[in-house]
Amino acid sequence: MALNSSDAVAGPGVGQQSTKILIAGGFGVGKTTLVETISEITPLRTEEVLTAIGADVDDLTGVERKGSTTVALDFGRITVSSDVIVYLFGTPGQDRFWFMWDELANGALGAVVLADTRRLDACFPAVDFFERRGIPFVLAVNCFDGAERYDPEEIRGAADLDPLVPVILCDVRQRESCKTVLINLLKYLIRLSTATELARNGQPVGA
């Protein structure tokens, strides 16, 4: 059993690399359905048992500060190339699990905040969270049957979003619609990356 172990960088190792996109939003807004619709595997559920709360957590509203708790995460996978696997994580909808978000958000490519126009305010905590941490996100409005259709710009106004943040109407049960949401997120990330690059090179952004 003479082996080259723990060689995480080169040599006989894992050829692929992973990254993650978070799917956030209020409880029951369709996060798991979105993951289910687009994932190449049947969505999985894993549990993290948390026994301590990090020191730099500032969203402790409603969180019991003692003992341990179990957080369930639903996730799916998309292999986007022979080198890259993207994991989609549905963030826990319950406010008391918010302290889990920091670990989840760390190293995320970006996020999709799912909203439901019948209770738009349910997505505000997620919007606040990503804005404060500087994690790029798109707002995807899941158009439930019977839900009144809104103009994306109206929703942007109601949610008080930055004018650059894409707002997309979607139906999370439709694969093409979920693809469109993710495509919008990636295009947005590319725009941000280009803007950052230009700013770094001292060229006017948006010129």
- Select from 28-36, 43-51, 120-128, 155-163 the region that touches other proteins (CB under 8 A): 43-51
Q: Can you point out the beta strands (E) in 80-162? A: 84-90, 108-115, 137-142
By CB under 8 A, name the one of 13, 28, 54, 157 that touches other proteins: 13
Rounded Cα distance between 101 and 93, Å, is 10
Q: Which of residues 98-157 bind other proteins (CB under 8 A)?
A: 103-104, 106-109
Q: Do the beta carbons of residue 169 and residue 149 sit within 8 Å?
A: yes
Alpha helical stretches, state H, the chain: 31-38, 101-105, 124-133, 152-159, 175-200
Choice between 67 and 163, CB closer to other proteins: 67
Per CB under 8 A, which region of 79-87, 123-131, 144-152, 160-168 contacts other proteins? Answer: 79-87
As a dihedral over the C-alpha atoms of residue 39, residue 45, residue 48, residue 54, rounded to 10 degrees, the angle is 40
Q: Which CB atom, from 73 or from 122, has the smaller least distance to other proteins?
A: 73
- How many angstroms separate the CA atoms of 110 and 113, rounded? 10
Q: Does 6 bind other proteins (CB under 8 A)?
A: yes
Are 142 and 170 within 8 A, CB to CB? yes
Alpha-carbon dihedral sign for residues 79, 80, 84, 86? negative
Taking CB under 8 A as the criterion, the residue among 28, 95, 187, 203 binding other proteins is 187
Number of chain residues interacting with other proteins (CB under 8 A) = 66
Q: Does 49 bind other proteins (CB under 8 A)?
A: yes
Interface with other proteins (CB under 8 A): 1-9, 12-20, 38, 41, 44-49, 51, 64, 66-73, 75, 77-81, 83-87, 103-104, 106-109, 175, 179, 182-183, 186-187, 189-190, 192-194, 196-197
